[in-house]
Amino acid sequence: MEDDLLSQLKQMTTVVADTGDIEAIRRFQPTDATTNPSLILQAAQQDTRRQRLAEIARQAADIDDALDAVAVEIGSEISALVPGYVSTEVSARLSFDTDATLARAHSLIERYARHDVAPERILIKVASTWEGIRAARQLEREGIHTNLTLLFGLTQARACADAGVTLVSPFVGRILDWYKAQEPEADFSGERDPGVQSVKAIYEHYKGHGYQTIVMGASFRNAGEIVALAGCDRLTISPQLLGELAETRAPLTRQLVPLDAETRAPEPQDEGDFRWAMNEDAMATEKLAEGIRKFMADQRKLETLLGTLRRE
């Protein structure tokens, strides 16, 4: 009998849990875990956390202090359950401010140190804006690892690789969402999925030019997208889809295979090149802006929750 899809996937790809749910991480035993403002909000709303959140909120200097304290506390719990990286995101509000992103990243690393979590276990997660990529470049030079998120195409991926970031999280499902909105009747199944095609293009570009940056597909809408990217360096997967993979027995074929670098990397983009290429890519531009807005919407909900607890 075939092994389940999750077991087979773990043999060819590093599986990452896309959640802040401690119980889900215990169940699926991923190598890494990644969080974002939406996932931290979900974790923070659990009744079992309310008393502790109230303590954090009352002890914090301000709401920003409380937000980071909550993210690091949950991240520290996760770090005890996974052997690899834990990703923690800088506030989406700082997506267009390099210096503020750097300051917040340093603060997060210091907080983790107070929880006895070493810097090499943490990926500072930053939106793939020009300013975010510049901040990541500096952090990597300081030995702080980064995860560049809200990435929707090769323009952003090239800039991230040029900056020497540790890992990129190209989104799959949100790209599919955009194309389905443009062409509701089109068949985007399997390898026709434009999100899958985007991650494959990034993977092939990195491997073909010898970049060391890790490619971690993210934001999946269905298990078929995951199957189509089997063999990618990493895939960060929601508990729902992890469960579906664990319950499905079928052969899994590796789709992405690392090749030896054959050509020299292209010249790095400057800011003008980057911004022009993004301007020409309506999908990437729109989904990046939308993603930042959505993360901020959930961050504001968490700010409201912490503010309420702070006053109780």
Q: What is the largest CA-CA distance in the chain?
A: 62
Angle between helices 37-44 and 282-311 (to 10 degrees): 30
What tokens does 58 get? 């009352």
Rounded to a whole number, what is the distance in angstroms from the first to the last CA of the chain? 56
- Give buried/exposed letters for 89-113 (b at 16+ CB in 10 A, else e): bbbbbbbebbebbbebbeebbebbe
- The answer to whether the CB of 312 falls within 8 A of the CB of 306 is no
Contact 41, 302 (CB under 8 A): yes
Q: How many CA atoms lie within 13 A of 47 on its CB side?
A: 0
Which residue among 10, 125, 200, 294 is the active-site one? 125
Q: In 74-203, which ranges are E strands?
A: 86-89, 122-127, 146-151, 167-170
Q: What is the DSSP letter of 15?
A: E
| Number of continuous H segments (helices) and E segments (strands) in the chain | 14, 8
> Tokens in use for 179?
């194309």
**Is 180 considered catalytic here?**
no
Task: Give the residue numbers annotated as catalytic, written as ranges.
Answer: 125
